[in-house]
A and B are shown apart, each in its own frame.
Chain A
Amino acid sequence: MKTKNSENYTKWQKSFEQETKIDLKEASSETDEGIEIKPVYTKADIENLSFVDNDSLPGQFPYTRGPKASMYTNRPWTIRQYAGFSTAEESNDFYKKNLKSGQKGLSVAFDLPTHRGYDSDDDLVMGDVGKAGVAIDTVEDMKILFNDIPLDQMSVSMTMNGAVLPVLSSFIVAGEEQNVNKNLLSGTIQNDILKEFMVRNTYIYPPDPSMKIVADIIEFTSKEMPKFNSISISGYHMQEAGADNVLELAYTLADGMEYVRAALSKGLDIDDFAPRLSFFFAIGTDFFMEIAKLRAARTLWYKIMKDFGAKNEKSLILRTHCQTSGVSLTEKDPYNNIIRTSYEALSAILGGTQSLHTNSFDEAIALPTDESARIARNTQLILQNETGVTNTVDPLAGSYFIESLTDELSKKAWEVIEEIESLGGMTKAVKAGVPKLKIEESATKKQAKVDSGSRVVVGVNKFKNPKEPKVDVRVIDNNRVRDDQIKKINDIKASRDQKAVDESLAKLVTAAKEDSNLLARSIDAIKNRATVGEVSKALEQVYGRHFATSLSVSGVYGKHFEGDEDFMNVTKKVNIFEEENGRRPRVLVVKMGQDGHDRGAKIVATSFADMGFDVDMGPLFQSPKDVAKDAIENDVHAIGVSTLAAGHKTLVPELMKSLKEIDPKSKIIVFVGGVIPEQDYDFLYKNNISAIFGPGSNIIESAEKVIDLISDKIHKNN
């Protein structure tokens, strides 16, 4: 018997096929996640869903429609912009200005030396001090950072994972010395080490002791800091590293499960700590998918926590911060980024986020200027004040498409979660390197889609702006920052009670050996004015420093270009090169300093290899000297420096110097890729850099340029 519904559908299908001249079956598209997107959804698509309950309401299990009944109708989301640069003094200034202009919460970005547990005076961090975040060496810096910002009133989020012990300790002591007891501190510490091993790369110790530190922090805060989120379980960085939404969602929740187990192993009751677990997701350009992801995340976390036996309702609810996607933003025609960010922000809001960071339009150029940061903040203020999106809770509920997509995404993610669980949980999976490799595979596929033009990026591979605008950039003089920091460190070291420092550090080491709670001990050391670096090094004595092994995908990029003319043109050149020179063009791809952005380097390496190059892959965190030794021993034709964290003006000249030191007649050519403001191009060319490949570079074109440069150089030498 035909229902009215199916009659209508048949009619619709006929019209559709007439209009499009395409068979309906062929008319679906497929997302990066492998989810089929149909041209139309109907009631039939939301019957018999596996995870979504069509009858639930906001603030009711499984919380698909939001963690709270009233959501933004009661209080809008928190505008929380992530920021930090240079010294504590300058960042403090910046924070205060922002708070005056309507920002509500703080979110601190630390510089890379701080993340990796090095003081600013360490030789290893020469190029990185204050460059990509604020430098914090001691509690005195932390006090300056929050000067005139009352910590009993301001909620503070801190992105800190590797050096989480000394940094959280500094925050607690800074509060104390502002006369704010730690039980009044509110905010979040990221403290999510698993995703560091996967994608973010600011780990210090190996996985097992790192997990112990996470658990120590959950234990301590659950007892002493009731208003503080002990962890921010982050998928954000996974998507930014190239994960599709299924991977981001599944790995994040699987990480969460691992942290729950770590905390349980401390003998805590699940309801004592679970309410203070918080989450962090990226919001990319796939508008509906991102909305569905936040709804699916809450739905799945409810199920997971039920299975763990949580009873307190607050334990079952996923609360999340979101950030719009930086990687979706382009260096080319940068004002387009304001538009992209607006749509992403809207996605996050329709998905029901609790707080949000919106990126600045100069994202792919440098840290935001005051001006670009203002526009980014205003994007949210306009959404909150002018558009009416706060008036109705979960306005897309009941949409056939959204509900069906939410369920589909949940199902796919659940499969991946089960896969990770069957490997013995995320710590084990991370040690085996599986998730990292999956994410890199996904990233490589995305790159291939953009490079081949099958995915349009406006202003990059289509609709290019013939007159690129000039934009101002924030310039940080890292040498000056470093000198300032060193002076402060020296002053503190001269005035502190050294004996007390030594004793408290020794106690910390003992605690690590005895497996007792490390946060309490590290607070003592920091109170005595031990530095962030000293605390980190003390633990390094016990745990060692972790070096990641890096695996590589192969064939993923090339597969996308089977039969492609431009691609084959390069492989042909490579083959001719081999015949003429007795070997293939050989390129060493490197990362120097503390810059852990490895997405670009890994993609370029695998793609070049797919085009027939021999590619030497350096490890993360090399010094220019190490790179020079590697390059010369392997007699590479070229070094490709991938640099995103603004260390290039220090590290690249150092590399050129080191090459000449080992081999005064070195003919190795050096080129640079990554985030390089145009203002720095001349400087690099003057340092004999042969080419610069900025964000959005087409890899096939880059490879052709590289092989041409190498061939030219060889011909000139002959």
Chain B
Amino acid sequence: MKKPELLVTPHSVDSIEPLIATGADAFVLGEQRYGLRLAGEFNREDMKHAIGKAHAKGKKVYVAVNAIFHNDIANELDDYIAFVKEAGADAIIFGDPAVLMAVRAVAPDMPLHWNTETTATNYFTCNYWGQRGAVRAVLARELSMDEVIEVKENAEVAIEVQVHGMTCMFQSKRPLLGHYFEYQGKVMEIENRKEAKNMLLYDKERDNKYPIFEDQNGTHIMSPNDICIIDELAEMIEAGIDSFKIDGVLHSPEYLLEVTKLYRQAIDLCVENLEEYEEVKEELLEKIEELQPAHRPLDTGFFFKETVY
């Protein structure tokens, strides 16, 4: 059986080596000007260092250029992508077709990963982007396990699935937190909290707490629970899913390190000794539960949930 790649989102250059030591195979990084909801901010220098460190250990770095672009930044893409290429990135992650146009213009050999988050929902469309240059599709987190596997069975591109962490439920271009503080007459609050990513929306009816933050890309609202399917990997590994992602956004570097270590164990066992994996998977799950911050329950996302419309 093929071992899927274990992909993580580091917080800083300093996280790269420890994450490699605990078992990460690849990294997603970038800067918020071009990428969405990243765990850390990597300016151009940082990116070079991170790529240097990863490549020294034979690991890969994918650069997130998956924001929704308006003309201003769309006009900068050639320059940024030329830089990313020169820095030696292993792939560019995109959602907006403007990136495809820029890559064709300045880095035609650069592999592309298609990731729009919410709209990668069927195999045909994954293959459509494949025919236009993508080598990988990152599936929407709103798919069930059966759907994920059916996509994989019919896909001509590699398939990446998020197995752990928070997911985004909503992105608005408007600064909604700033507007609320302004409405309350607390303009100072905007300045005080601009960098803080510690706010929550409380939904009384469901007793859920949704993390919310603002950045250059607007306002983002995140899921109330962290996906965790460390005990449900077998089916996807068997189906040949190519990459498992752990998203560290809004979690600490220490948390990401510990979780990466546990998934490394789970994947290795699952591939090398399925019986033993079945025996210890509950234990692995419990270990992750112990790591969870108080306000972040675990769940299995949409993998086993029915959605209607």
Bound together? no
